[in-house]
Chain A
Amino acid sequence: MSHHYDVVTMAHGSGGRAMQQMIERLFLSAFDNPWLNEREDGARLSLAELSRQGDRLAFTTDSYVIDPIFFPGGNIGKLAVCGTANDLAVSGATPAYLSCGFILEEGLPLQDLHTIVSTMAQTAREAGMAIVTGDTKVVQRGAADKIFINTAGIGVIPTGVQWAAKTIQCGDKVIVSGTLGDHGAAILNLREQLGMDLGVQSDCAVLAPMLAPLRTLNGVHALRDATRGGVNAILHEFSEASGCGMCIDENALPVKPAVRGICELLGLEPLNFANEGKLVLVVSAQAEEAVLNILRRHPLGVDAATIGEVTAHPNVCLRGVLGVSRQLMLPHAEPLPRIC
């Protein structure tokens, strides 16, 4: 539809014909679903249909401003669908509908926008979600960085699923669904132009299909996807919400050698690195084996591992390779590489 030298212009956000053309040719054709195709100001969703799937709605929103917008393993569009779908999934919900708002910088190549929108459509479709409403704004060059996306999502929580951090108990097991820090390492390498041949891709993925079987299992207490702040941030959130502590075993952490390498080199911790397709789960000791089996049966969960347990004293600590425990502080800001 567009030549590679075509770019987003102020006209694309003007409300005039250029905008109508972009909506029709790009967004409607890519996202194509009955709710969007009605072309009303708001999508009209059937309550009866939603009620058949459960007794509560999960509703969440997130904004995506990642730089670079294309990276190994995905792009900002894939992230915008996966991130919001995963926030719904860890609430116990089946993700159903998404909205998306674009803020485009004047001058963004239309080819890039086309690629991003196609990826969003494909990712949503694979996850069983429909992008049912949206908005596009164009701002002058310099007023935004290429493209910002906001997505909000609605999902339905089946009756009986009560995952929440406040249900965590002392003696529970802490599980992660796979290797830590892949997304953070891939982005750091690219953004800081470290030029390392890591062979590591962003783990950006929709986790709902892997999680769905957990909803009928007893003893699953809380789940979160470990995005910004990494697993460390989630452990602190869990500790605060439950009043319990989290004791993690450093030897048990699944980390790819390349990610460990970049961390050793720059003096950073994989536990603080962002993930875009990894969960932290807290489950009862009785449910541990069953949960690990379910996760490992799915391609996204083959490296799932128990990394520690919930303790009575509300500390988050890490038992190191030599057996000495140390506290895991939540960094005040993004950790910076050390010089020597």
Chain B
Amino acid sequence: MRFVDEFRDPKLAKTLIERLYQRAAQLPYTAEKPMQIMEVCGGHTHAIFKFGLDKLLPPQLEFIHGPGCPVCVLPMGRIDACCEIAAHPEVIFCTFGDALRVPGKQGSLQQARERGADVRVVYSPLDALKLARENSQRSVVFFALGFETTLPVTAVTLQQARREGLSNFSVFCQHISLMPTLRSLLLQDDVRIDAFLAPGHVSMVIGTAPYHFINQQFGKPLVISGFEPLDMLQSVLMLVEQVCEASCKTENQYRRVVPQEGNLLAQEAMRDVFVLAGSSEWRGLGLIEHSGISLSPAYTVFDAERRFQPQVQSVADDPRARCGEVLTGRCKPHQCPLFGTGCTPHNAFGALMVSSEGACAAWYQYRHQETEQQDRQRRVAG
């Protein structure tokens, strides 16, 4: 298949891995204390597990799975607010598929649907807009979720709704900005991140400049990476080369998609429709300053929370869950006491087990049997 198989070529992968082994040997890192590379994006996490990329890396390198899965960091209280809105009899509540099963304190949107709410899965906010046009007697609410990847399409949808004067359309805005979160991670005391793989799709929108503070202020190398195995292996090699050469900069491996300045039209639409709105709660990480996004004054009329006034819900995660430590590289998913027992993909306790892009869900999906086997062997040996 074109544009896919070229980027999964086993021969080229082998060449990159050999080169990685050669260069990694020159790093000031060891198997005991490896260079920890945080892949920020959930799409990268999924690719690492799906293709087994972490198993192909030399022992001096290790991936840490970052916070870049918008579904994983979705606070439970926000889902409860969505369910409350969805329960209004006139509402058609539209959501992306992977938010459907995320549990709130009062259950998931899927469970709300089982109780009679009209909850529908859409593939784009434009599908929700179409539903609003076709159902003038109903109130259509779109659950706007995600980072800068999905922000532009929500923005364009709202611009269209405003032009059409659609009064039965609104959005529940759970958009968040990635950059403040990276800053917040780096400001923590015991930071165990040596370098970053930056998300390709967010970068396609925002461009490369917003990452510079990570190099300049925190001294961490960063490479914007595509999502195929060769993209990611090449990006890791670029990070290793930077460390070998004692340089620290933002590089763009995903040039076939990411222009240096980003997507200017998308940025303009985002500026028109959204404003940065103080702090936002991230599941597993807590409150992060400046990461919240809300509708600009011209668009607040489309704000579902204004329209339906759901109760503000604040729900604490189970204190035994170690999501925050996994997110910051202090703990591997299977080392959490809840992993695979109290917390599984169909009964997620913690944030990272919720979406298939979460580190714990990916580990569970692709590695759980292995972990069990190793445990069994250890028990037998002991």
Partner-B contacts on A (CB < 8 A): 192, 194, 257, 260-261, 264, 267, 315, 317, 320-327, 329, 332-333, 335-340
Contact = CB atoms under 8 A, between A and B. Distances in A.
B365 A320 contact: no
A322 B56 contact: yes
B51 interface: yes
Instruction: Decide if the interface of chain B is mainly helix, strand, loop or mixed.
Output: helix
B97 A333 contact: no
B334 to A, nearest CB: 13
B98 A336 contact: yes
B19 interface: no
17 contacts: A192-B123, A257-B1, A267-B46, A320-B52, A321-B8, A322-B51, A322-B56, A326-B50, A326-B366, A327-B365, A329-B366, A329-B368, A336-B101, A337-B96, A337-B123, A338-B97, A338-B357
B369 A327 contact: yes
B145 A339 contact: yes
Interface string B62-85: 000000001100000000000000
A192 B124 CA distance: 12
B121 A336 contact: yes
B149 A340 contact: yes
A338 B356 CA distance: 8
Contacts of B149: 340
A155 B55 CA distance: 50
Interface in B324-370: 345-346, 355-357, 364-370
Which 9 A-B pairs have CB atoms at the shortest separation, nearest pair first? A324-B52, A336-B97, A332-B346, A339-B96, A326-B366, A327-B369, A337-B97, A340-B149, A321-B8
Nearest to A261: B1
A329 B365 contact: yes
A322 B345 contact: no
A116 to B, nearest CB: 27
B150 interface: yes
A336 B367 CA distance: 20
Contacts, number: 88
Contact of B52 (A192, A326, A329, A337): A326
Contacts of B43: 338, 340
Given A194-B123, A264-B1, A339 B366 contact: no
Interface residues of B, number: 43
Interface string B189-206: 000000000000100000
B229 interface: yes
B146 interface: yes
A182 to B, nearest CB: 16
Nearest to B202: A340
Given A317-B369, A321-B229, 14 more contacts: A194-B123, A267-B46, A320-B52, A322-B13, A322-B56, A324-B51, A326-B52, A327-B365, A327-B367, A327-B369, A336-B100, A338-B98, A339-B96, A340-B70
B156 to A, nearest CB: 16
A327 to B, nearest CB: 5
B312 interface: no
B146 A340 contact: yes
B370 A327 contact: yes
Contacts of B50: 320, 326
Contacts of A264: 1, 4
B10 interface: yes
B27 to A, nearest CB: 23
Interface in B108-139: 121, 123
B21 interface: no
B265 to A, nearest CB: 19
Given A327-B367, A327-B368, A333-B346, A340 B150 contact: yes
A189 B282 CA distance: 34
Nearest to A339: B96
Nearest to A265: B123
A326 B4 contact: no
